[in-house]
Amino acid sequence: MSSDRYASLVNSPVGNFIAPKVGLPQPVKLERYKPGQPVVTGKAFIGAAPGGRLGEAIVAALKSADVEFGYSEPGAAPEGDERYKALIFDATGITDSTQLRELWQFFHTTIRRVKTSGRIVVLGTQPELTTGPREATAQRALEGFVRAVGKEVRKGAAAQLIYVAPGAEDQIESSLRFFCSPKSAYVSGQVVRIGAGVAEAGPIDWGMPLAGKVALVTGASRGIGAAIAKTLARDGAHVVGLDVPPLADDLEALMAQLGGSSIVGDITAADAPTMIADQIAEKHGGIDVIVHNAGVTKDKTLGKMDEDKWSVLLEINLSSEERIDDELLARKLINENGRIVCVSSISGIAGNAGQTNYATSKAGVIGMVQSMAPEFAKSKITINAVAPGFIETQMTAAMPIGTREAGRRMNSMLQGGLPVDVAETIAWYAGPASTGVTGNVVRVCGQSLLGA
């Protein structure tokens, strides 16, 4: 992995003195989750617009997660000068644009009390599920608020909007835990939709949420895929890593370390879907989590791109995923409350010169997630995507320095993310309690300026 020497320099004693004087960006070291840590490494503070419906659910989730919290009555400022690791605001009571003032009322007194790597979470109602245009307008406005707050807070703090469908109040805990914790270190300015659960979650062991589950991770031998395999194994899953024959040794070494198993093969091979399905059926009887991580770039401007660069990439990054899912679904090998997680890219959202093939494939991944979510819901399975931005891997280390530095700094965190940031987001989707989270695309990009 490449190292961010600039961040080390501006955070050295000399750099720390000079950087603010000459206006250099100063990325802070982001807090990341360490096993055994509390969900929130400090106190939370909660508030609500009058008439909100999530108060009880928020309090129940925070109590379950052992989070200490204070709260204010609508319109009242917090007493004293205490600082908070998380601010949580129930905005579901806002049914008209004139009531958006409630956001200002709560946050203008609390925002300066957010600690380094703090979290701001606003909860609302999906505009499409509101009772009429006035409420839909006001709820849609929350997006702009949260995205602007994400850009203002700095110092590693992050802001998200979680839309909770009426009737899905009991589904918020896994998302609240993730977005209030250091696991969401490099996620900011995102909008998540939670609906009624597609399956029964059953009892949850929050320390080992994937115990007893089997998780297939493609492209697992290195980079982001290796981080996903390690994180899912940390959460208790038996990981089945898949990678191409030239990387078989690396794959098998990692799987041995994680107590997992390996499938060596090329996902684009004609017999790959049956080969994968056969191995899962024989060795595990079924699968709980599928992470479509394997992917490649083959950059060239369109006029200079030969057919191979186009077709091979589309096969690896998109079409093979569709075929594997179809086979596993047709053979009923995806267990109830199963999870499919796809790795897209902000290039698939914003587009990128020299990446027409890659952006097409990664936008297609988003299309697959959104179109298949209702289909998979019928089989009690969720499907979601992560869209990473600039992540420090061998791939980004090989970029020319200008592009690399721009990628690192053009986001609210002023730095690149780590493979584990993508992996933690996938672990949140994969958790058995995230049964109401489907059809979502969450960017893991530090709120990059590229794209929406």
Alpha carbon separation from 152 to 135, 189, 283, 395 (Å, rounded): 26, 11, 50, 30
List, edge to edge, every strand of the sheet that includes 84-90. 69-71, 44-48, 84-90, 114-124, 158-164, 190-194
Q: Is 244 in the site for ligand NAD (CB under 6 A)?
A: yes
The question of whether 84 is a catalytic residue gets the answer no
Tokens linked to 224: 């982001």
Q: Is 219 in the site for ligand NAD (CB under 6 A)?
A: yes
Residue 343 beta carbon to ligand NAD: minimum distance, rounded to whole angstroms: 4
Q: Is 186 in the site for ligand NAD (CB under 6 A)?
A: no
By rule CB under 6 A, what count of residues binds ligand NAD?
A: 27
CA 426 centroid distance within chain: 6
The one-letter amino acid code at 403 reads: T
Which residue of the set 33, 84, 358, 429 is catalytic? 358
Q: Which is nearer to ligand NAD, 99 or 355 (CB)?
A: 355
Q: Is 6 in the site for ligand NAD (CB under 6 A)?
A: no
DSSP 8-state secondary structure symbol assigned to residue 315: I
Which residues within the stretch 51-110 sit at the binding site for ligand NAD (CB under 6 A)?
Answer: none
CA 297 centroid distance within chain: 21
Q: What angle do CA 320, 325, 328 make, to 5 degrees?
A: 125
Of the residues 105, 218, 352, 356, which one makes contact with ligand NAD according to CB under 6 A: 218
Of the residues 171, 384, 396, 412, which one makes contact with ligand NAD according to CB under 6 A: 396
Which residues within the stretch 257-276 sit at the binding site for ligand NAD (CB under 6 A)?
Answer: 266-268
Site string for ligand NAD, 271-300 (x = CB under 6 A): ----------------------xxxx----
* 76-81 LR contacts (CB < 8 Å, sep 24+): 77/109, 77/110, 78/45, 78/109, 78/110, 78/113, 81/113
Helix and strand totals (H; E) in the chain? 16, 13
The one-letter amino acid code at 335 reads: N
Q: Is 343 in the site for ligand NAD (CB under 6 A)?
A: yes
Q: Which is nearer to ligand NAD, 247 or 366 (CB)?
A: 247
Q: Round to whole Å and give the CA distance between 371 and 127.
A: 19
Non-local (6+) Cβ contacts of 31 within 8 A are 41, 116, 117, 156, 182, 185
Non-local (6+) Cβ contacts of 252 within 8 A are 262
Residues comprising the chain, all counted: 452
Of the residues 393, 415, 435, 440, which one makes contact with ligand NAD according to CB under 6 A: 393
Site string for ligand NAD, 409-438 (x = CB under 6 A): ------------------------------
Of the residues 394, 397, 403, 452, which one makes contact with ligand NAD according to CB under 6 A: 394
Q: Is 352 in the site for ligand NAD (CB under 6 A)?
A: no
Q: Is 247 in the site for ligand NAD (CB under 6 A)?
A: yes
Of the residues 30, 277, 391, 441, which one makes contact with ligand NAD according to CB under 6 A: 391
Give the residue numbers annotated as catalytic, written as ranges. 358
Q: Contact residues for ligand NAD (CB under 6 A)?
A: 218-219, 221-225, 243-244, 247, 266-268, 293-296, 316, 343, 345, 388, 390-391, 393-396
